[in-house]
Amino acid sequence: MTVTKHQQQQQQLDGDSIPALRIFEWAKSQLEKTEELYKHKSEIIKTVAERLESKGFPANKICYEISKQLSDYIDDVYVREILPAKYKDTKHAKVRW
């Protein structure tokens, strides 16, 4: 079975010693490369959310933090569309009309 570059990089991120900042750096590098691979962006965003949650980041703040940290690469509306409710702060969510 062939392991893709994305799978190798994701395996590297799975180490417990990786700080949250490093997770965002990885995501930025991936998003810069994948403008032509739009569907890959959703995988990256979901991976970041899962990794942050596994590091103890408050689940209800993950959507906001991803939107803020990766704003140069992805739209916050897109992040909210793909992430499940558990990663969103519904108490303080912006209402869009």
DSSP string, 29-71: HHHHHTTT-HHHHHHHHHHHHHHHHHTT--GGGHHHHHHHHTT
Tell whether 16 is covered by a domain.
yes
- What is the average pLDDT across 43-70? 94
pTM score, two decimals?
A: 0.63
In degrees and rounded to multiples of 5, residue 94 shows phi and psi of -75, 140
pLDDT tens digits for range 2-32: 545 554 555 555 555 567 888 888 888 877 7
The range of the structural domain enclosing residue 17 comes to: 5-87
**Cα separation, 97 vs 87, whole angstroms:** 21
C-alpha–C-alpha distance, residues 25 and 72, integer Å: 12
Q: Could you tell me the two tokens for 93? A: 């969510």
**95 occurs within a structural domain:** no
Number of folded domains that form the chain: 1
92 lies in some domain: no
